[in-house]
Amino acid sequence: MADKKIAAYICQGCGLGERLDTAQLAKIAKSEGKAAIAKQHEFLCNANGVQMIQNDIDNEGVTHVVLGACSRRAKTDAFNFQNIALMRANLREGVIWVRPDDEDNRETTQEMADDYIRMACAEAKFVDIPESSNEQGLNRTVMVVGGGVTGMTAALETAKAGYNAILVEKTGALGGMAAKLYKSIPQSAPYSTPADSGVADLIAQVNSNDRITVHLNATLNKTSGAPGRFAADIRIESGATFTEQFGAIIQASGFKPYDARKLPEFSFGKTPDVVDQLGLEALAQAANGAPIKRPSDGKEVKSVVFIQCAGQRSEKQGHLSYCSGHCCSTSIKQAMYFKQANPDTDAMVVYTDLRTPGAGGEDFYRNGQQQGITFTKGEARTVTINDGNLTVKFKDLILNEDVDMDTDLVVLATGMMPNSGVDIEATPAKLDENCKDCSNDEKSGAVAPVIQESVLNLDYRQGLDLPQLVTGFTDSHFICFPYETRRTGIYTAGPVRRPMDMLQAQDDACGAAMKAIQVIENSSKGLAAHPRVGDLSFPRFRKEGCTQCKRCTVECPFGAINEDEQGYPQFNESRCRRCGTCMGACPVRVISFANYSIDSVGQQIKAVDMPDEYSEKPRILVLACENDAYPALDMAGMNREQYSAFVRIIPVRCLGSVNTIWITDALNSGYDGIILMGCKKGDDYQCHFVKGSELAHIRMSKIDDTLTTLNLEPARVATYEVAITDMHRVPQLINDMAATVLRCGMSPFKF
C-alpha cells in the first residue's frame, strides 16, 4: 500500500464560511493535523469541489481525506471516493446548526470546529484502508437441517437459484409434520375448503432435483467453520459418520406438539376420544373422506367440539404463554373434514379470540361458518367422561352462563414448541424456572431435567445451538431484520423461528434461502454480513499482549470467536459482524480493526484542545452509537436545537466497542464529563449488535471504581439508552451534563 497521505478539505457552503474561520481550520489541519494538503472550498459537494478532491487523490497520492463539512450521513452520493479512507468532521449538523449565531458564542463555536478538525486528522493518522484477510472460502452449497415443508422448500428454492443444497433429516422420511396432515389450510382464493398439502409433490421434487443431496436418518454431529467454509460431521443411522462441506446453513428443524398430557382437566390420555390436532389428522387420514369414526367404539362422530388455546396463551405453570397462530385456522379446517363427510355432524369451536388474520384467514373463517361450523366464545373448563360419552364444561361468554355439553369427540388445539436445540444461555436458575412441568423432585435436583438435544452441534466457543428468545424460539432481530440470527451464516426458517402455518413457513424458507446464498457470495469476498454489509475490516489481534482472559470470546454476540487449546482467541472473519464488541471487551487492548481501533478513537479523544482548569471551558465527551444516537444528534442539528459548545462527539460502531480505556484516558486528560449514548438493551433490545449496549452498561457500571480512585464525582460519567427519535432529548442530556459539570466544578486533571 502506498504511503499515507492526509488531505483536509474545509467547506464554506451552507453558512460554514460565514460562521467559522475556515482559514484557521485549514491551518489547524496542516499544522496540528499534519495534513499534507489543506484546502478550503466554497461548495465542496458540488461537481467542482468533488473533482478537486478526486484530482488530489488521482494526482497527489492522497490516501486519507478529511472533510470539514456536513455530517457523515449527508451528501454520501457526492463524497463517494473509492479506495481511500474518509473522515468527516461534522461542522454543520454538529457545530453551526446547534449553536446560536451571535458574537458572544463565536469563540466557543469556532473552538468546537477547531477540535473536530483536530479529531478527524487524528483519526486519519490511525486509520488504514481495510483489505480482506484472504482466509475466505467459497463453497456454494447450502446445508438445510430438517426435511419438513420448510426444509424441503428451502432446498428447492436454493437449487432453483442455481446453488446446491444438502438436506439432512433426522427421521427416515421427508415430509415432517406436514406429512402427518390429511389436508392443509388453503393457500389461495377462495379459501373455502381444505387443500392438498402438496407434501408428496415436494418430496418428489426434492428427490428428483440434481442439485439436492438428501441424507435421511442423519444428524449433525459436529458443525464447524464459518460462512463460505463450514464443515459438518454427519452421523447416520448405522453410526457411521462422514463429512460434508458447505457455505451456509438453514435451520428448519420445525416444532414438536405440546404434550397434551399436561392438561389433565381435558382428560387427554384418559380416553382416546380426546385428541390433539395431530391426533385428529390421523383420524381423518384413516377415514380418508368418509365420516370420521370415534376411536373408542368406532361409531361415526356426530358431534365434535374443538377447544382452542388448550395449554397456550396462558401463564399457568407448564402452559405456553404465546399463541401458536395457526390453530384457529386448523380447527376450522378440521371441522370442515366433518362437515364435508357428513353435513349433519355438529362441529363447534370454543374460542376466546378467533384468530384468522389477513385476507385469506377471514375468508376461511366465513367459509367455515357458511359450511355450518358453529363458533362459541367461551372458556373451556373441563372434559369429563360419562358412560363412554364426553361432557365439555365451558363458560359461554356471550350468554354468560356455565354449560355442560355432551359430545362424541373433543379436539384440543394445543400449541407448537420449537425444536431449537439447546438453550445455550440457560442458567441453572433459568432452567429451573422454565421447567414448570418438572415435578418437585426434579426441581430439588433429585432428577436431572430433560436435556434438550442439540440440532446443530456447533463447535463454537459460545455454545452448541443458536441463542433463543424467552419463548424458546430462536432469537433474531425480529422486526426489521427477521433473518438476522446471532450466528452469521446460519438462518432459521419455519416454526423454529416463530409459530407459523405452512404458507408462511414456505415464504420463510424462501427468505432464508435468500440470506444463505447472499452470505455465501459476500463471505467469499471477505465482505461483512448485515448490518455492516460490505465492510472489509475484521478484528486483528496481537497475540503477544493477550492474557487469555477470554472476555472477547465470551462477549462476542455473534459467536465469531473460538479459543485454541491455550485459550487464545481464534477469530473467524466471516462469522464476525464487525461490531467491535471484542475490542471493547479487551482489557489489554490487543484487538483492533484496520479502520477502527483503540487508537483511532483514543487519539481523537486526546486531540481535543483542553483548556485549563481556570478557563471556565469544560470539555464533555460523548461517545454515540452511530446507528441511533448519532442520527438523533444530527436531527437535533437539522431542527436547529442548541446544545453546549463544550461537547465533543465521537460516533462509535456500537456502544459494545467502547473500551473503558477511552473513559479512563479521557478522565485522566481532563475531560469534565462523559456521556455514552447507546441503544435499548434487554429482551426488547434495539441494539443492532444485540448485546453491545447491554455490555457497555455493565462495563460502565464498574467505572465508578476508576472515578473513586481519581477522586471524581460519579455523576461525571453517564450512560444512556437513546432512541433515534430522541431529537429533543439528546441536546437535553448534553446540557444536563454541562450543568452537572458546572455543579461539580472543573476536573483537576487538566495538564
Partner 1 sequence: MSNTAKYRNDFLKEVEANVEEGEWVKMCMQCGVCAGSCPLGNAWEHTPQKIFMMIRAGKRDEVLSSDAMWMCTSCYNCIVRCPREVPITHIMHGLAHYAKRLGLVPANQPTAKFAQLFWNNLSKRGRINELTLGLGLYFMNGFVEGIKTSIKMQSLGLNMIKTGRMNVMEIFGGHSVKDTSGFHAMLQKAEEIEATRIK
Partner 2 sequence: MTEVVATNQTILVVGGGISGMTAALEAAECGKQVILLEKNPSLGGRVSQLYKYFPKLCMPTCGMEINLRRIKANPNVRVLTLAEVTQVSGTTGNYQVKVKLSPRYVNSNCTACGACADAVTAEFPNEYNYGLNNRKGAYLPFFMAYPQRYVLDPKIIGTADADKAQAACHCGAIDLDMQTEEMDLQIGSIIWATGWQPFDADKIQPYGHDRFANVITSVEMERMMDPMGPTGGRLVRPSDGQEAKNVAFIQCAGSRDRNYLKHCSRICCMATLKQTTYLREQFGDAGRATVYYIDIRAIDRFENFYQKVMKDDNIKFIKSKVANVIENKENNNPILRGVNTEGYHRYADEYDLVVLAVGMQPSVDFKSLGIDIVVNDNGFIEQNPHNGGMFAAGCASDALDVNRAVQNATASSLRAIQVINQVAGAEG
Burial bucket for residue 318 (CB in 10 Å: 0-12, 13-18, 19+): middle
What 3-state class would DSSP assign to 631? helix
Instruction: Among 58, 404, 433, 612, indicate the residue that binds partner 1 (CB under 8 A).
Output: 404
Closest Cα to residue 459, out of 571, 568, 559?
559
Residue 369 interface partner, choices partner 1, partner 2, none, CB cut-off 5-8 Å depending on type: partner 1
Residue 499 interface partner, choices partner 2, partner 1, none, CB cut-off 5-8 Å depending on type: partner 2
The residue (of 241 and 391) whose beta carbon lies closer to partner 1 is: 391
Instruction: Among 399, 450, 533, 588, indicate the residue that binds partner 1 (CB under 8 A).
Output: 399
The CB-side HSE value for 305 (13 A sphere, CA atoms) comes to 28
| 83 touches partner 2 by CB under 8 A | no
Instruction: Among 1, 2, 189, 429, indicate the residue that binds partner 2 (CB under 8 A).
Output: 189
| 372 touches partner 1 by CB under 8 A | yes
Nearest approach in angstroms of CB 346 to partner 1 is 5
d(CA 367, CA 336): 9
Residues 377-396, interacting with partner 1 (CB under 8 A) = 377, 391, 396
Q: What is the CA radius of gyration of the chain?
A: 31
| 531 touches partner 2 by CB under 8 A | yes
478-482: long-range contacts, CB 8 A cutoff, minimum separation 24 = 481/530, 481/531, 482/511
| 578 touches partner 2 by CB under 8 A | no
Closest Cα to residue 674, out of 726, 640, 635, 710?
710
Cα torsion at 368, 370, 376, 380 (round to 10°)? -30
Residue 325 interface partner, choices partner 2, partner 1, none, CB cut-off 5-8 Å depending on type: partner 2
The residue (of 18 and 612) whose beta carbon lies closer to partner 2 is: 18
Q: Is the separation of the CB atoms in 667 and 604 below 8 Å?
A: no
The residue (of 177 and 510) whose beta carbon lies closer to partner 2 is: 510
CA 553 to chain CA mean position, Å? 19
Residues 303-322, interacting with partner 1 (CB under 8 A) = 303
d(CA 104, CA 128): 40
Q: What single string gives the DSSP state of each residue in 256-290?
A: EE--GGG-GGGTBTTBTTEEEHHHHHHHHHHHTTS
Span from 258-266, 368-376, 488-496, 527-535 in contact with partner 1 (CB under 8 A): 368-376
Instruction: Among 210, 387, 684, 705, indicate the residue that binds partner 2 (CB under 8 A).
Output: 684
List of residues 6+ apart from 74 with CB closer than 8 A: 92, 93, 634
The residue (of 379 and 736) whose beta carbon lies closer to partner 1 is: 379
What 3-state class would DSSP assign to 625? strand
283-288: long-range contacts, CB 8 A cutoff, minimum separation 24 = 284/182, 284/183, 284/334, 284/337, 285/180, 285/182, 287/337, 287/341, 288/182
d(CA 366, CA 294): 27
Residues 384-403, interacting with partner 2 (CB under 8 A) = 397-398, 400
The residue (of 163 and 351) whose beta carbon lies closer to partner 1 is: 351
d(CA 182, CA 664): 66
Nearest approach in angstroms of CB 677 to partner 2 is 13
Q: Is the separation of the CB atoms in 304 and 410 below 8 Å?
A: yes
Residues 406-465, interacting with partner 1 (CB under 8 A) = 406
d(CA 434, CA 30): 62
Q: Please report the beta strands in 503-629, taking only residues with DSSP state E, as ranges in sequence order.
A: 540-541, 561-563, 569-571, 591-592, 620-625
Span from 209-217, 295-303, 540-548, 723-731 in contact with partner 2 (CB under 8 A): 723-731
Nearest approach in angstroms of CB 370 to partner 2 is 13
| 749 touches partner 2 by CB under 8 A | no
Nearest approach in angstroms of CB 403 to partner 1 is 5
Instruction: Among 51, 55, 76, 382, indicate the residue that binds partner 2 (CB under 8 A).
Output: 76
Nearest approach in angstroms of CB 373 to partner 1 is 8
d(CA 514, CA 101): 51
Nearest approach in angstroms of CB 328 to partner 1 is 13
| 482 touches partner 2 by CB under 8 A | yes
| 346 touches partner 1 by CB under 8 A | yes
Residue 391 interface partner, choices partner 2, partner 1, none, CB cut-off 5-8 Å depending on type: partner 1
- ∠ CA 322-325-327, nearest 5°, is 110
Closest Cα to residue 332, out of 390, 299, 374?
374
| 291 touches partner 1 by CB under 8 A | no
Residue 346 interface partner, choices partner 1, partner 2, none, CB cut-off 5-8 Å depending on type: partner 1
The residue (of 375 and 538) whose beta carbon lies closer to partner 1 is: 375
Total chain residues near partner 2 (CB under 8 A): 87
List of residues 6+ apart from 327 with CB closer than 8 A: 277, 308, 309, 312, 413, 414, 415
Span from 169-177, 398-406, 467-475, 604-612 in contact with partner 1 (CB under 8 A): 398-406
d(CA 146, CA 170): 7
Residues 415-474, interacting with partner 2 (CB under 8 A) = 469, 471, 473
Nearest approach in angstroms of CB 363 to partner 1 is 12
The residue (of 285 and 352) whose beta carbon lies closer to partner 1 is: 352
Interface residues with partner 1 (CB under 8 A)? 303, 346, 348, 354, 365-366, 369-370, 372, 374-377, 391, 396, 398-399, 401, 403-406
